Amino acid sequence: MSVIGNTDLRFSEEQGMILDTAREFCRDKSPISAVRAQLHSPLAYDSGTWDEMVSLGWLGIALPEACGGSALGVSGVVPVVECMGRALLGTPFISTTLAAQMIVRAGDNSQIERLLPDIINGKPATLALLENADWGDEQPGCALNEAGELIGSKKYVADAAAATLFVVSIEHEGALALALVRAEQLPDGAIRENTLIDETRRAATVDFTGVKIEPENLITGDGVAPALRDVRLLGALLIAADAAGAAAACLDTIVEYLKTRKQFGKLIGSYQALKHPTVEILTSVDSARSFIYHAATLITDDPLDEDAESACRMAKVQATQTLLFAGDRAIQFHGGMGFTYECDAQLYIRRAQWSQQQFGDAQHHRKRLASLLLDGGSH
């Protein structure tokens, strides 16, 4: 058996239609001027744009038909997120999609039927997983006290201020569990907004202490741990899709500048010192796209197998490393202009640094890939 393993890559007609629609939508709704207009707004997105995304049915792409979704799986969400990344379009789309996946994959039918319709209709939701800066620490300290109230807070909760529902990982009776918290249950001051390196994103520390969790809002059982693992992998994949899109747009920005800016009497794109790294960005973007659609080919609504796990991790590594490189070079290649806030290169490098830290950075995933690839199978 080869360590290269599964190299399946398919793209369905439905995915193609979603890609076309999403590309056009994101281009229209999220030109750079619109992105910049949201940099300092409280929620970092335009509610009108969000409502249109909801009416296009995007929140339900991966959700069951019984709840009003289109049951295309997260594979159908990947093209949307790639296009959003390309346009640097924020919104709580990724957070809400992942929170919904957590409920679908770990919740019972009554929870699914009760909560998903609101999500599909555009009520933002989010995951609350981390209690420190370590994505490798999977043991939550958050727990319920004897009165059934949550004790503890979560950090780096994406889109916390927009969320109407939080899916919180907790420790319960010696096992992983999930608590479902409605925003209105949070006391005043529970959300302490972060200042993020990426101004198109929002996240906060959320103190859940004192929130009463009724039994119907508690998810327990053997299924929680594997579902959590899978949703973290899907999170890595969606961040990768976003980063791959952003990297492609960053490449376009570089190419445009290299074709128009003159120095020493020549277009700077004619210098090999700039040309060759730009080709490296192109081949790297190409690899990132290949990995995200490879992963999209392998994931299903079932628990992720090892091939799918590898694919999600590789997608995350490749796409975020690519965006880091592209954003970094975009600044350098714009010269003095690149050092200014006005230059769009800053938007990409900030998105890059933020993306790298979502759902584990490149080293985190390569460490786990090493175990998957080198310690199993024939090796």
Partner 1 sequence: MSISKQEKDEFTAQVSAWMRDNKPADPGFLLPQSFMEVGSEVQLDFLREWQYKMWSAGYLGMAWPKEYGGGGVEPVFQTLADAAMRSEKVPIAFNIIGLGWAGPLINDIGSEAEKAKYLKGILSGEDIWCQGFSEPDNGSDLGNAQLRARRDGDEYVLNGTKIWTTLGSYAKYMILLARTNPEAERKYDGLSYFLSPMNVPGIDPKPIQKLTGEYGFTETFFTDARIPADCLMGQEGQGWKIAMQTLQYERGAEAGAAGGLAFVRVVIDDMIDELADVTRDGEPVLRDAAIRDQLVKLIMEEKAISLGDRRSSITALTTDYPFSLQLSSKLRWTEYSRRMRQFAINAQGAAGSLYVGDDDARQGGFWQRAYFNSFSATIGGGTSQVQANIVAEHILGLPK
Reference 345, options 250, 245, 240, 252; nearest CA is: 250
Angle (nearest 5°) at CA 226 between 221 and 230: 140
Alpha-carbon distance 301 to 307, whole Å? 15
Nearest-approach distance from CB 274 to partner 1, in angstroms: 8
Using CB under 8 A, which residues numbered 125 to 154 contact partner 1?
none
Length of the chain: 379
Nearest CB to partner 1, comparing residues 167 and 281: 281
* Residue 367: CB minimum distance to partner 1, A: 7
- Which residue type sits at 189? G
- 158 and 127 Cβ atoms separated by less than 8 Å: yes
Q: Which of 234, 245, 199 is nearest to 94 (CA)?
A: 234
Q: What mask, x for binding partner 1 by CB under 8 A, covers residues 303 to 342?
A: -----------x--xx------------------------
Residues 228-267 vs partner 1: string with x where CB under 8 A?
--------------------x------x--xx------xx
Instruction: Tell me the DSSP string of 248-265.
Output: HHHHHHHHHHHHH-EETT
Near partner 1 by CB under 8 A, which window of 64-72, 189-197, 277-285, 351-359?
Answer: 277-285
3 in contact with partner 1 (CB under 8 A): yes
Instruction: Identify which of 86, 156, 129 has the alpha carbon closest to the alpha carbon of residue 234.
Output: 129
Based on the shown chain and the rule CB under 8 A, indicate whether residue 269 belongs to the binding site for partner 1. yes
| Residue 93 is a binding residue for partner 1 (CB under 8 A) | no
Number of residues that bind partner 1 (CB under 8 A): 45
User: Considering the rule CB under 8 A, would residue 275 count as an interface residue with partner 1?
Assistant: yes
Single out the segment in contact with partner 1 by CB under 8 A; choices: 1-9, 94-102, 323-331, 336-344. 1-9
Residue 314 is given by DSSP the state: H
H helices of the chain, in order, are 13-29, 32-37, 47-55, 78-86, 93-106, 109-120, 224-260, 272-298, 306-333, 335-338, 345-356, 362-374
Contact set with partner 1 (CB under 8 A): 2-5, 7-11, 15-16, 19, 248, 255, 258-259, 266-267, 269-270, 272, 275-276, 278-279, 282-283, 286-287, 289-291, 293-294, 314, 317-318, 363, 366-367, 369-370, 373-374, 379
